[in-house]
Amino acid sequence: MELNTVVDSASSSASQAPGLPRTPPLVGGGLPLLGSLPALLSQQAELFLGARARYGDVYRMRLGPVSVTVVNHPRHVQHVFRDSSAKYGKGGALWDSVRTLLGNGLGVSEGDYWLRQRRMMQRHFHREQIDELVSLMVDAIDEELAVWDAAAEAGSPLSAMRAFSPLVMRMIVRTLFGGDISREEVEVIAASGTFAFGHVFRGIIAQGLPAWVPVPGGRRYQRALRDMDAVLFKIIERGQRHPQPAGASRSLLASLIGTVDPETGQRMTAGQLRDEALTLLLAGYESSALALSWTLQLLLRDPAALAELRAEVDAVVGGGRPNASHLYQLHYTRMVFQEALRMYPPIWWLARVALVDDEIDGFHIPAGTFVLAATYAIHRHPEFWEDPERFDPGRFTPERTASRHKLAWIPFGTGQRQCIGRDFALVEGQLVLARLVQRYTLAAVQPDRPAVPALSMTLRMKKEMSFRVTRRGPGREGARAGV
């Protein structure tokens, strides 16, 4: 891979001068005002792999007038997000942009307020609590698969994201809101949320450009926020007026409405519930749909892996309904999903701002520096991943997992701020994959033209992958007729 850039000569000289702090090498060769921004837009994720290969595990790049220090090794993640996490925060223009969407939700809040919210929410995301939601998830999957059945009957192709997005949305809505949301309301949140996520990313890229440079879509973004708020506040108000009783069928939102902070005796306000519900909904919706889309693409290009996945599901679940106990036996299914998250992590970046001067691998990190951990590149670091472009679910056997750095795989982040929905997402992935191979044989429409990554807030597909499904016959004849 060629990277048409050179190390900035002044930066290189300064970093070698004796007695002066070393400065990370600067990815150069960009335009005076835009820096590496055109290269990022054209090369996408490959820019990070090429820069790491040329400049090492720590380097800087200019995105417009904003300088970003990129770190690419698990030990850097250990330092920034765990050992020295108090030195780094979620301040600055980037996080302010995200807050225009998520308010002060768990993903962006800080300090004592974040600790309070995490304390109130954490117990609802313990694995035993998630297991109680499995039946609701399977109901949602089966309802949405009626669309897949119609495509199978007609012989029509399906588009990965267009097929998985409503399926994931139905699962999240069912578990987050229960039955207290209409299909029209779901469609409003899905359409508005997808646009809003992309707009926030464009705003982040434009940070630091002159104020007169327009970022298209500003009015539509404000309208999307209003539309989502109208739906969410209406659902919250209904939930507060008519609390659901505790039990296995209780939605996550109902649980949050009923949660009292043991230290303060307070409940969340409607505004706080809005921020947390929207954070859970948007963070889980697009990322899970993308994770499943990338997983399916990888499986359709590896018939042996798909056959092994199906054989495991047939042996463990048979023709019955998946339940929580099955998940603990679907080891290969889980490893398939983990490997897909390695190769194509929907959350491809983790970012912090240095609150004080610091040092990473001998490089000086001044206070105010925007530090980006490139998850996509860390998941392909040759020190930890042999032949990293090869799809190999066996990387996640207990033995191989124990032999590598614990932070070589971070699709959900790490440390205190690790994604609260980690176990929810893994259960979700296992259930969907199990139900799909139980029900269908699958084939790519154009197996030699895979989708390629496109950077946004998430790792999207530049061109969506299309595939066909065929219903498996009674007695699992389809298991032997094809993959």
Which residues are documented as binding site for heme? 419
For residue 334, which of 405, 431, 419, 400 has the smallest C-alpha distance? 431
Say how many residues make up the chain: 483
- Do the beta carbons of residue 434 and residue 317 sit within 8 Å? yes
Q: Binding-site residues, please?
A: 419
**Angstrom distance (rounded) from CA 141 to CA 122:** 25
Runs of H (alpha helix) within 317-374: 324-327, 331-343
**Angstrom distance (rounded) from CA 299 to CA 429:** 14
Runs of H (alpha helix) within 178-269: 183-205, 218-241, 252-258
- Do the beta carbons of residue 322 and residue 133 sit within 8 Å? no
**Angstrom distance (rounded) from CA 63 to CA 317:** 50
The shares of helix, strand and coil residues in the chain, as percent rounded to the nearest 5, are: 55, 10, 35
- Do the beta carbons of residue 340 and residue 293 sit within 8 Å? no
**Angstrom distance (rounded) from CA 149 to CA 143:** 10
Taking phi over 0 as left and psi of -120 to 50 as alpha, with beta for the rest, 457 belongs to: alpha
Q: How many CA atoms lie within 13 A of 286 on its CB side?
A: 23
Exposed/middle/buried for residue 353 (C-beta within 10 Å: 0-12, 13-18, 19+): middle
What are the angstrom distances between the C-alpha of 185 and each of 53, 242, 290, 443? 47, 19, 22, 33
**Angstrom distance (rounded) from CA 41 to CA 45:** 9
The DSSP call for residue 363 is E
**Angstrom distance (rounded) from CA 47 to CA 3:** 7
H, E, C per residue of 107-173 = CCCCHHHHHHHHHHHHHHHCHHHHHCCHHHHHHHHHHHHHHHHHHHHHCCCEEHHHHHHHHHHHHHH
